[in-house]
Chains A and B, each alone.
Chain A
Amino acid sequence: MTTSTAGVAKNPFQPNSRALDARRRGANILAITLTALFAVLAGAFLLYLIAYVASLGLKYINVNFFTQRPVAEGETGGGWATALQGTAVLVGLASLVGIPLGMATGVYLSEFGRGWLASVVRFLVDTLTGIPTIIFGLFAWVILVVPAHSFSALSGGVALSIIMIPTVARASEEVLRLVPRELREASVALGATESRTILRVVIPAARSGILTGIMLAIARVAGETAPLLMTAFGTTFFNTSILRPIDAIPLRIFDFTLSPFPSEQNQAYAGALVLMVLVILTSLAVRWATGGFRPRGR
């Protein structure tokens, strides 16, 4: 009835004329050029940002930076010791609460979590990551700062600890799930109880992955500014009480950036440099620990 070729769909990718072929090849080259441009520009922006921040901030990184507290504009010397101390205190407080809560949630989701409760917890953890961090600052401000009529390191620690929970929880759950079933069975077969198996076999097997998650969470909260603005608030003095305002590296950067004095603005670059180096070193360490520069995907 029909000839052999009429019923066969034509291959749309078959080159049938020189002009069409050139157009298709042109589209391909255009796509390569554009996408390469985007990717290279994004990578170059990061390198530029590091280089620019370093070029202005590097000269302030000296002994004073680590040992002195900030001085008034016009005086010489001064450093970031209060901010460094404050960040250490705040991250410490946050870890004290955030790591146990995050790890427990991870253990629950991977070891016990079944049914509706697990779905609810997993949903909450997922949504927690997407909530703007200033919301947790607002929360800590309402429950701790406003009643006490005072900004405090404690309220800053509380805000940061909530931010840590989902990162630690998700990382722990993911690596705990990767622990082979045989390992658990072997432990139980030897007579170990459930808690002993989890604490002595499963968690140690996933140790490096959990540590990775904790490091990521610490890097994340160390760079947080918005929630600290309304809780820890910042100060240029050393502080020994967690019930009083405390400084932090991001808060000092924020303060110095908004300063009208160029010398203080330049000091903001010094703080930014230290913060970026900290964060990027952490992510490099994490990458190294989790298997190097293996590209994702194919």
Chain B
Amino acid sequence: MQASISSSADSLSARARAWVVQLRLLTRRPGDFLFRGLTYFLVLTVMAIVAGVTWILVSNSLPTIQTFGLKFLTNDAFDPVHNTFGVGPAIFGTFITSAFAMIFAVPIGVGMAIFLLDYCPRQLRGPLAFLVDSLAAIPSVVIGLWGLLVLAPWLQASGEPWLQAHLGFLPFFQGTPQGVGLLAAGMILTVMVLPIITAIAREVMAVVPVAQREALLALGATRWEVIRYAVLPFARIGIAGGAILGLGRALGETIAVTMVIGNQASPPSLHLFNPGYTLSSVIANQFGEATQGLFFSAVIEAGLLLLLFTLLTNILARILIARLGRTRVAGLTL
């Protein structure tokens, strides 16, 4: 008790001293004071912007939150005529397309990282790594263009009928092949999150101590066994962090998904050929008419939910990556 009082007094006097230092700065070196003040002002502006974004989304969602409550999450109508709104199909679509992307992108991405770090011949490594990294730089509208004009027609004509013929007993591959739909969106997302997952897997596997690899090699292990027993267990948590970072991107991807997913609020089903919706494509499709009332509020709440989901995934990912003592992944713009 006493200790805590005295320590708070200490910190109080420390704070007072800090103010005195600031004041002295103002009188003796006004230039430094100005520069510091300007920097702090701009940083506070950035913080105010973040707070502002959150506040705008929360305050404008209140009408639908009050009207529909939790039903907004499950209701499948987005119906301005009857003034009922819900994002059930969109939440389902967001998660099923992202899950699809993760199922394929994580093993492929980690495999690519293993090849680029371990197996790849030295001369090939630089150029190949550059190509893989550049994949992340392709604007999503270009991926969407390719998805809508090339991938979707191909899926409708050949891909989906083939899947139906050979794997049609699975619930995923039933229904009418339509090209655009959940499957196309999932495939597009796989391509889009792959570079992130690979880049982070490469970063975290690169910090595995060389001695640990060499120890296993000395015992007579094959290079795969070195990866399997010395590298992957060490990098596991970091890889999981990278995968969740990729998940965050998949959840929020807007334009490419909007172009290939079909944009229909079909009831949740595992049939991947069906067209669907995601939270972000609801916003992109509905904002045009939604300028007031509950309709407006419903679009904003879709955004708020999206913000919430992506924030949670990002925070989780950063905690996992930070456990390796590397809060930042160098040379990567996410």
Contact = CB atoms under 8 A, between A and B. Distances in A.
B31 to A, nearest CB: 5
A121 B224 contact: no
B311 to A, nearest CB: 6
Interface string B252-264: 1111001100000
Interface stretch (B34-42, B74-82, B84-92, B170-178): B34-42
Given A226-B255, A279-B139, A42 B221 contact: no
A194 B255 CA distance: 46
B45 A167 contact: no
A204 interface: no
Given A24-B225, A165-B46, A40 B138 contact: no
A194 B34 CA distance: 11
B225 to A, nearest CB: 6
Given A130-B248, A135-B303, A162-B49, A42 B135 contact: yes
Interface stretch (B53-61, B65-73, B158-166, B268-276): B53-61
B50 A283 contact: no
Interface in A1-38: 11-15, 24-25, 27-28, 30-32, 34-36, 38
Given A193-B29, A226-B280, A279-B139, A130 B334 contact: yes
A112 B202 CA distance: 32
B140 A223 contact: yes
A130 B315 CA distance: 9
A122 B38 CA distance: 18
A139 B53 contact: yes
B32 A195 contact: yes
Interface string A133-149: 11110110111001001
A56 B149 CA distance: 12
Interface in B287-320: 287, 291, 296, 299-300, 303, 306-307, 310-311, 313-315, 317-318
A134 B142 contact: no
A199 B140 contact: no
Contacts of B220: 11, 13-15
Nearest to A109: B43
B253 A132 contact: yes
Interface in A249-298: 250, 253-254, 257-258, 265, 268-269, 272, 275-276, 279-280, 282-283, 287, 290, 293-298
B43 A36 contact: no
A196 B191 CA distance: 47
Contacts of A225: 139-141, 254-255
Contact of A108 (B40, B149, B225): B40
B149 A105 contact: no
B333 interface: yes
A208 interface: no
B254 A134 contact: yes
Contacts of B39: 104, 107-108, 111-112
A294 B126 contact: yes
Contacts of B141: 223, 225, 250, 253-254, 257, 272, 275
Given A139-B57, A293-B126, A174 B328 contact: yes
A185 interface: no
* Most chain B beta carbons < 10 A, residue from A143, A294, A296: A296
A47 to B, nearest CB: 7
User: How many interface residues does chain B have, given as a range?
Assistant: 35 or more
Given A53-B142, A225-B140, A268-B145, A105 B46 contact: yes
B219 interface: yes
Nearest to A216: B333
Contacts of B287: 138, 141, 229-230
Contacts of B52: 139, 143
* Most chain A beta carbons < 10 A, residue from B135, B144, B255, B307: B255
Contacts of B315: 127
A60 B334 CA distance: 32
Nearest to A256: B145
B101 interface: no
A127 B54 CA distance: 13
A135 B284 contact: no
Contacts of B116: 39, 295, 297
A19 B271 CA distance: 44
B243 to A, nearest CB: 14
B239 interface: no
Interface in A90-119: 100-101, 104-105, 107-108, 111-112
A173 B140 CA distance: 28
B222 A101 contact: no
Interface string B128-140: 1111111101111
A246 interface: no
A104 B43 contact: yes
Contacts of B245: 130
Contacts of B303: 134-135, 138
Contacts of B327: 122, 126
B252 A132 contact: yes
B19 interface: no
Interface in A24-72: 24-25, 27-28, 30-32, 34-36, 38-40, 42-43, 45-47, 49, 52-53
Given A128-B50, A223-B138, 11 more contacts: A11-B219, A31-B227, A42-B112, A126-B318, A146-B291, A165-B46, A195-B34, A275-B142, A276-B139, A296-B129, A296-B331
Q: Which 5 A-B pairs have the closest CB atoms?
A: A132-B252, A223-B139, A104-B42, A195-B35, A297-B206
11 contacts: A27-B224, A32-B119, A122-B327, A127-B314, A128-B50, A130-B313, A132-B251, A141-B287, A223-B138, A293-B129, A297-B202
